[in-house]
């Protein structure tokens, strides 16, 4: 993974996401999820394109059940868009890149 695309954990989530000065895109995923794996390169591209403007990372729902359950994640992939510690938008499924970019531009 690149330095613009990080793994968030139950322990780091508050500092890395909720207290971030930048908007944060969080990809809730799992190793066994086919659509999640399809979405990963798209999210990595977006992370590189928006480097410095947003923070971007993943939460593995199998490794971080507390964070996933606290946000009611029932389907993956789920993308949550945080700004000032609050969820502003949410997308579920392998959505087109432009749909994600549009939301990030609105949050910026």
First to last CA, the chain: 24
Q: Out of 36, 47, 54, 80, which one is annotated catalytic?
A: 36
Q: Would you state the pLDDT for residue 6?
A: 87
Decide: 89 and 107 in contact? Cβ < 8 Å.
Answer: yes
Instruction: Give yes or no: 33 in active site.
Output: yes
Q: What is the predicted pLDDT for the residue at 4?
A: 64
Which of 24, 33, 43, 46 is an active site residue?
Answer: 33
- 108: helix, coil or strand? coil
Beta bridge partners of 9: none
pTM, full prediction: 0.93
What top-level class would CATH report for the domain 5-107? alpha beta
Q: What share of the chain is helix, strand, coil (3-state, %, to 5)?
A: 35, 30, 35
Q: What are the residues whose beta carbons fall under 8 Å from the beta carbon of 25, sequence distance 6 or more?
A: 43, 46, 47, 54, 55, 56, 57, 79, 80, 81, 82, 100, 104
Q: Mean pLDDT, 10 residues at a time, over the chain (108 residues)? A: 74 95 96 95 94 94 95 96 97 96 92
């Amino acid at each position: 993974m690149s330095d613009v695309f990080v793994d968030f954990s139950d322990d780091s989530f508050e500092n890395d996401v909720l207290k971030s000065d930048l908007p944060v895109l969080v990809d809730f995923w799992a190793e066994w999820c086919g659509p999640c794996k399809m979405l990963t390169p798209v999210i990595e591209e977006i992370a590189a394109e928006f480097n410095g403007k947003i923070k971007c990372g993943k939460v593995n729902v199998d490794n971080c059940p507390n964070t996933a359950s606290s946000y009611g994640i029932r389907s993956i992939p789920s993308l949550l868009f945080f700004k000032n510690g609050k969820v502003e938008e949410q997308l579920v499924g392998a959505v087109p890149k432009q749909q994600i970019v549009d939301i990030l531009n609105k949050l910026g």
